[in-house]
Structure 1
Amino acid sequence: MHSSTKSNLLVASCYAGILALGMVVGPKFGRESDAAKTGDFTPFSASPEKIDQVLGIIEENYVDPVKADTLQNLAINQILSHLDPHSSYLPPVKAREQSQDLEGKYYGIGVEYTVLNDTMLITSVKTGPAEKAGIKAGDKITAIEGKNITGAQISSEKIVPLIKGRAGTVVNLRVKGRETNREKDVLVKRDKITVSSIDAAYMLTPTVGYVKISKFGARTDDDFALEVNRLQQENMKSLVVDLRHNGGGYLSAATALADEFLPDKQLIVYTQGEHEPRTDYFATKSGKFEQGKLVLLIDETTASASEVVAGAIQDLDRGIVIGRRSFGKGLVQEQFNFGDGSALNLTIARYYTPLGRSIQRPYKMKPKDYFDEASKRLEKPEVNPVRVKDSVSDKRNSYKTGLGRTLYGGGGITPDIFIPVDTSAFNSFYYALRARGLLTEFLFSRLVNGYHPTSLKQIINEFNLSDAQYRQLIALALKKGIKTTGRTVEIARAAINTEIKALLAKVYFDQESYFKVLNASDKAIARSLQELKQP
């Protein structure tokens, strides 16, 4: 870590404590300056001892109950709000969850779940302790170690500390069975759970492979190399890498993946910041797929480390990028850990593609507006951004590839081939059902127990929501306050049917089956296969 960065972090930490005091005892111990009125703060003292003293006085003498940690957190978040949208403070639970997610392992029981109707609903069971104990997707957990976990106050923050723990320890779950609807106590011995960042890897055609990557964690490159070796043994000649809905992760994992496609000594990306000198990342000669045809799929949720890979592939003319304009996050965060388990993710540098493009979108607006911008593109589907003047087609930020193609910087990765949102199927009704978890609720309450497929092929070829089932789903939506019209409901039916079919495939088979169902009617996949047929 650069010494200047650490020094700045210490100053920021001091300011955090000072801000906390200023909010509570400012009138007594300090005065507001003209700068403070515009968002800056002039501290009355930078003494850590005095800060601790005053926090102690507040805790022991303040008129109302108050927690010093809460004041400190408020102050830290206030400071970070004046930096960029991606610098953030993580409380201990969030910091631990993020670390485990990217490391690809944790100690627990091996389930995926959602909180639905104030109840913990198991949506998927991995190979591991929960499966051995007989827990199935669709079961509900109503209590953990005798502690009730149902009701309006239940949340992941409360569930995670109860369900995770040291390997070998036993957790007592009260399980309400999907099929019996009866409760029983189940003892599950916790163990190490390994989570791959590869969601699916299979052959789309006899010669075209497909790999879906959900995030860039510590194991991503190793997992990818294993899957590519397997697919090459199945005669894979061309490859589609799906980075849609991949919000990023470790920069080192992204450069390692890009290295799999690029020849020795090619520049993948470089980073640079006020206190961080330029650092270049180069490919090596150990790539597993440096020769075959390559397609990358991206969309508005493709961000950060994913954009590093897409930018390198595009700048170096290594493959074709298909989809919609990526999120536009070109900032690098470093995590600073505190003794209480919390952490500060601080932006320390920007990254630049091999041609020197910065992908970062402007962020001078409110944070909510910044993060909502990508999703709002779906409300008013953008035309092909190559043909309009916006942040990604500004001629002042244009670059030429080795093959003479023009690329732009400053607003995400613009795909080589644009695939607009299919508004003939995906509309407000569809998105509302997904956002509220109603497709999952309907699946487990109305479909799972009455349907018993024997193969994935049966689900793909035979399952369709009946008219009666679709009316039941509409009734559920109305009950939950979702506004509908006859036209929006009818337009969304095909997309909803496909999503339900994919969810069924995941419940009865595995996560890869979920993507096999979705990809069968995916226009970006179809266009990818079309492009890979070209000489």
Structure 2
Amino acid sequence: MSSTPKSNFTYFIIALIAAFFGVILGATYEQNRSINSNSAFPSFAFNSSQKLDKILKVIKTNYVDSVNTDSLQSLAIEEILSGLDPHTIYLPPVQAKSQNENLEGNFEGIGIEYYVLNDTLLVTSVRENGPSEKAGLLKGDRIIAVNGENMVVKSDRDFIVNKLRGKKGSKLNVSVLRFGFNKPISLDIERGRIVVSSVDVAYLIKPEIGFIKITRFGANTAEDFSNELNALQKKGMKSLILDLRGNGGGYLSAATALADQFLGDNQLIVYTQGLHEPRTDYKSTSDGMFEKGRLIILIDEGTASASEILAGAIQDLDRGLVIGRRSFGKGLVQEQFGFGDGSAMNLTIARYYTPSGRSIQKSYSKGIKAYKDELNQRYEHGDYSSLDSALKDSIFLSQQKKFKTLKGRTVYGGGGIMPDIFVALDTSKFTDTYQQINASGLVSQYVYGKLTNSVNTSRFKTIDGFKNGYRFTDADYNGFLNYCSVKKVKVDKAQALVSKPLIVSQIKSILARYYFGEEGFYSIYTQNDDFVNTALTKL
């Protein structure tokens, strides 16, 4: 089960993602009052490492109001870690569990994707051979109750997860409204282990040209990628576009395993080193499946960490072209430290360096707040819209050091990876009307609330048939604008006309996902994608 639709039209992805792992900090409380009759105040016999434990004990037993000392302890830990670096962080148990599940690529649930439409859970996809399909749940069903309790969704995603996920083998009953039926349908579902591919989509975007998108590097990414790569090669793929935009990273091992697919034997992919960590080199093997084909990597400001390792190796070794905008700039390595209550801490133990010896970590000397705001500063400086501005960015210039690729090209360390070919952000269609419509989520609401039950797609047997045959007419577009007005979004007709290509593309893409999955979505979306079109011209 995962939320849909994905935010594929968000142009500014602020990725502050580190590798995720578990930790808790245990504490033993002990209070000793002074037996010195001359002292009016309690005193303690403890060393400095026990101070936090003692303070929390005193608060718990003496404070005027009830206090959750676990929350106070978390705050104290967070404050301590904030003095280190932006990617050394503390995660409470629920967050740690969720993030680890995302990286491990599996969880226990019922196997659906959904969209919250008017406080109701609309099923947008049912996993093939999964628990929900076996129970008879269908795409388009609206879940109105779980185990007899009304499912009115007015909370966050955790509310839905807590209702639908559970131990493998456990059962739940759902009541659903189904199009064409007069009364709710009751279904019993037995939860199971759901394995989610870490490859978002893989298909032939053109004859002999493959397109693969990955938004995280998890435990199964190397295997998933190999399977998809093999399938595309059997279909005649000779060139590949690998889309790492918005990929915030994940496991280092996954990034090096993917790099190995493209590189010859015994080439340095990356090395790590820290004060307490000796240099460790990661090199390619002779087992790569795509060592000769043409390769392009797409990156943007949301490309971080492990995905920067892969892009940096391809660039430094002149194996392929890197196209897009300057990456995030995270060159730190975290290690897991686990403790008993399931909470988590990411501790930075080393820096990583690309084959040419460059560290791409951007500066955090001005504090975490400035670090988090750095992407906004890039936008305000014009880095997203002009290569000249990006190259003259004062923050980037202050950190950059020159390095040489295998063939002698100049590349820069510090502040992220600068692409070989720059793709400017086209804001010409970003009108105020578009911004309001997008911020209100009305495109998805309209598609799932209006089009999925009214558009006859039975005549479109294939994705290409839908892509070439479905038309969203001027009358349809005016109907959508009227829908927006009813939903209290002020529509300027002139601005709506300027933004029409962008909005229509979104509508068609989301509708294609509903009927044909991720390949359907990207087949439509990439038609107007400047990154992809730039890559295609180079291939």
Alpha-carbon shift at residue 17 of structure 1 (Å): 9.6
Q: Which residue of 2 aligns with 1:417?
A: 421
Q: Which moved more, 1:172-181 or 1:94-103?
A: 172-181
Tell me, yes or no, if the aligned pair for 1:264 and 1:283 is still in contact at 8 Å: yes
TM-aligned CA distance change 1:172 to 1:372, over 3 Å: farther
- Counterpart CA distance in 2 for 1:431 and 1:397 is 38
- CA-to-aligned-CA distance 1:427-484 (integer Å, 9 cap, x gap): 5544554444322111111111001213323431233434454345445545666565
SS in 2 for 1:218: coil
Preserved contact between residue 392 and residue 408 of structure 1 (Cα < 8 Å): no
Larger mean CA deviation between 249-258 and 424-433 belongs to 424-433
Contact 1:272 1:351 in 2 (8 A): yes
Find 2:385's aligned residue among 370, 382, 386.
382
Residues 167-182 of structure 1: matches in 2 within 5 Å? 167-177=168-178
Aligned-partner Cα distance in 2 for 1:375–1:136? 42
Q: How much does 1:251 deviate?
A: 0.8
Rounded to whole Å, the distance in 1 between the matches of 2:469 and 2:258 is: 38
Q: Quick one: distance in 1 between partners of 2:71 and 2:292?
A: 54
* Matched residues, number: 501
Q: C-alpha displacement at 1:420, in angstroms?
A: 1.0
1-structure distance, mates of 2:182, 2:321: 50
TM-score (normalised: structure 1) = 0.85
Q: 1:274 to 1:241 in 2, by over 3 A?
A: same
Aligned partners of 1:304, 1:336: CA distance in 2, in Å? 19
Structure 1 residue matching 2:327: 3-state secondary structure: coil
Q: Secondary structure at the match of 2:172?
A: strand
Q: 1:481 to 1:222 in 2, by over 3 A?
A: same
Q: Please tell me whether the aligned partners of residues 179 and 449 of structure 1 are also in contact (alpha carbons under 8 angstroms).
A: no
Unaligned runs of 5+ residues in structure 2 are: 1-21, 31-40
| 3-state SS of 2:523 partner | helix
Q: Greater RCO between the two (CA within 8 Å, min separation 6)? A: 2
Aligned to 1:196: 197
Q: Which range is displaced more, 490-499 or 303-312?
A: 490-499
Distance 1:297 1:181 in 2: 49
Q: Post-superposition shift, 1:274? A: 2.6
Counterparts of 1:307 and 1:208 in 2: how far apart (Å)?
Answer: 23
What is the root-mean-square deviation of aligned Cα atoms in Å?
Answer: 3.1
> 2: distance between equivalents of 1:179 and 1:496?
30
Write the distance in 1 (CA, Å) between the matches of 2:399 and 2:202. 39
2:443 is the alignment partner of 1:439: yes
Equivalent-residue separation in structure 2 for 1:72 and 1:395 (angstroms)? 36
Match of 2:412 in 1: 408
Give the letter for the 1:78 counterpart.
Answer: E
Q: Is the Cα contact below 8 Å between 1:29 and 1:44 reproduced in 2?
A: no
Give the Å deviation of 1:53.
6.4
SS of residue matched to 2:372: helix
1:30 and 1:123 map into 2 onto residues whose CA distance is 62
For residues 205-236 of structure 1, what are the alpha-carbon distances to aligned partners after superposition, in whole Å with 9 as ceiling and x for unaligned? Answer: 22221211121111111111111112112222
User: Does 1:398 find its partner at 2:399?
Assistant: no
SS in 2 for 1:337: coil
Map of 2:37 onto structure 1: none
* Cα deviation 1:80-100 (Å, max 9, x = unaligned): 222222222222221111111
User: How far off its partner does 1:383 sit?
Assistant: 0.7
Q: Which has the higher helix share?
A: 1
Identity %: 48
The separation in 1 between residues aligned to 2:453 and 2:302, in whole angstroms, is: 34
Query: Shift in Å at residue 145 of structure 1?
Result: 2.5
Name the CA distance, whole Å, in 2 between partners of 1:16 and 1:425: 59
Contact 1:16-1:76 at 8 Å conserved across structures: no
Name the CA shift for 1:125/1:159 in 2 (closer, same or farther; >3 Å): same
In the superposition, relative to structure 1, how do residues 466 and 30 fare at CA in structure 2: closer, same or farther (>3 Å)? Answer: farther
| Contact 2:400–2:415 under 8 Å retained in 1 | no
Residue 467 (structure 2) pairs with residue 460 (structure 1): yes
| Secondary structure in structure 1 of the residue aligned to 2:303 | coil
Q: What is the CA distance between 1:424 and its match in structure 2?
A: 2.7
1:279, distance to aligned residue in structure 2 (A) = 1.7
Match for residue 10 of structure 2? none
TM-score (norm 2): 0.84
| Contact map agreement 1:241 1:296 (CA 8 A) in 2 | yes
- Secondary structure of the 1:96 match is helix
Matches of 2:253 and 2:278, distance apart in 1: 17
1:527 aligns with 2:537: no
Secondary structure of the structure 2 residue equivalent to 1:520: helix
Q: How far apart are residue 530 of structure 1 and its match?
A: 1.8
* 2:496 is aligned with 1:492: no
Structure 1: tracts of 5 or more residues without a match: 1-8, 19-27, 32-42
